[in-house]
Amino acid sequence: MSLMVTFSYPASSIIRFVEARILATFSSLFLTYFLSAIPDSRN
């Protein structure tokens, strides 16, 4: 039981860190695609 408690906190913090990294990468890729698609739609 105590072993599970000690492992649950770092695992959740790692999962949150990975989720934040995935969200930042996805948002930056979306922003790059969106900004590069604007001049194409104007022309």
Q: 1 versus 16: which is more confidently predicted?
A: 16
pLDDT digit string (tens) for 11-43?
788 888 899 999 999 999 999 988 888 776 665
pTM comes to 0.52
pLDDT the model gives residue 35? 87
Q: What is the pLDDT of residue 26?
A: 95
- Please give the Cα distance from 7 to 30 (Å, whole number): 34
The whole-angstrom separation of Cα 22 and Cα 18 is 6
**Would you place residue 8 in the very low, low, confident or very high pLDDT band (cuts 50, 70, 90)?**
low
Res 7 pLDDT > 80: no
Beta strand extents in 1-43 (DSSP E only): none
